[in-house]
Structure 1
Amino acid sequence: MATHTSAPTLVKGSRAARSTITLKILMAASGIVFIGFVLVHMYGNLKAFAGHDAFNEYAHHLRTFGEPILPYEGLLWIVRVGLIAALVVHVASAYALARRASTARTQKYAVKKNRSSSLSSRTMRWGGVTILVFLVWHLLNFTIGKINPSGGATNDPYNLMVDTFDLWWMTIIYLVAMLALGLHLHHGTWSALQTLGLTGTAAARTRAKTAGWVLAVVIAGGFSLVPLFVLLGVISK
Structure 2
Amino acid sequence: MSTAAVTPHENRAPNFWQSTNGKKVVMAVTGAIMFLFIIGHVAGNLQIFEGPAKLNAYGHFLHSIGELLWPVRIVLLLCVGLHITATVQLAMRNKAARPVGYSRKQAINSSYASRTMYWSGPIVLAFIIFHLLQFTAGYIHPGSQFIEGDVYHNVVAGFQVWWVSVWYIIAVSLLGFHLRHGLWSMFQSIGYNHPRHTPLLKKAAFVIALLITLGYISIPISVLAGFIK
TM (normalized to structure 2)?
0.90
SS at match of 1:15: coil
One of 179, 184, 187 as aligned partner of 1:185: 179
Deviations 1:123-149 (A, max 9, x none): 111111210111110111112344221
User: What is the alpha-carbon distance in structure 1 between the residues aligned to residue 82 and residue 184 of structure 2?
Assistant: 19
2:153 aligned partner: 159
Alignment of 1:12-51 (within 5 A): 15=14, 19-51=19-51
Q: Which residue of 1 aligns with 2:82?
A: 89
Q: Distance in 1 between matches of 2:100 and 2:108?
A: 23
Query: How many residues are matched?
Result: 227
How far the C-alpha of 1:108 sits from its partner, in A, is 4.8
1:103 is matched with which residue: 96, 104, 112?
96
Q: Which residue of 2 aligns with 1:209?
A: 202
Which residue identity is paired with 1:138? Answer: H
Q: Which amino acid aligns with 1:80?
A: R
Preserved contact between residue 146 and residue 154 of structure 1 (Cα < 8 Å):
no
Deviation at 1:110, TM superposition (A): 2.5
1:121 corresponding residue in structure 2: 114
Residue 62 (str. 1) matches residue 55 (str. 2): no
Contact 1:199–1:208 (Cα < 8 Å) also in 2: no
- 1:199–1:7 Cα change, 3 Å: farther
Residues 53-89 of structure 1: CA deviation (Å, up to 9, x unaligned): 1000001111224xxxxxxx11222221111010111
Find the aligned partners of 1:109 and 1:119 in 2 and give their Cα distance: 18
Counterparts of 2:167 and 2:77, CA distance in 1:
23
Would you say the 8 A contact 1:27–1:89 is kept in 2? yes
Q: Output the CA distance in 2 between the equivalents of 1:225 and 1:194.
A: 31
Give distance in 1, aligned partners of 2:95 and 2:15. 15
Shift of 1:104: 1.6
C-alpha distance in 2 between matches for 1:130 and 1:92: 15
Q: 1:143 to 1:88 in 2, by over 3 A?
A: same
- Which residue type is aligned with residue 117 of structure 1? S
- For 1:70, the equivalent position in structure 2 comes to none
Quick check: 1:31–1:90 contact (8 Å CA) kept in 2? yes
Q: What's the counterpart of residue 135 of structure 2?
A: 142
| Aligned 8 A contact 2:48 2:54 in 1 | yes
Secondary structure in structure 1 of the residue aligned to 2:19: helix
Alpha-carbon offset, residue 115 of structure 1: 4.5
- Let me know the Cα RMSD of the aligned residues: 2.3
Q: Which amino acid aligns with 2:19?
A: S
Paired with 2:126 and 2:82, the residues of 1 have a C-alpha distance of: 17
Q: Which moved more, 1:150-159 or 1:133-142?
A: 150-159
User: Could you tell me how far apart the structure 1 residues matched to 2:155 and 2:141 are?
Assistant: 9
Matches within 5 A, 1:169-184: 169-184=163-178
User: 2:48, 2:55 within 8 Å by CA — same for their partners in 1?
Assistant: yes
Report the TM-score, using the length of structure 1 for normalisation: 0.87
Deviations 1:127-185 (A, max 9, x none): 11210111110111112344221132332211010001112211111110011000000
What CA distance in whole angstroms lies between the structure 1 residues aligned with 2:5 and 2:104? Answer: 35
Q: Unaligned 5+ residue runs, structure 1?
A: 66-72
**Aligned-residue offset at 1:191:** 1.5
> Which residue of the partner structure matches residue 52 of structure 2?
52
| Structure 2 Cα separation of the partners of residues 179 and 148 of structure 1 | 22
CA displacement at 1:214 relative to structure 2: 2.0
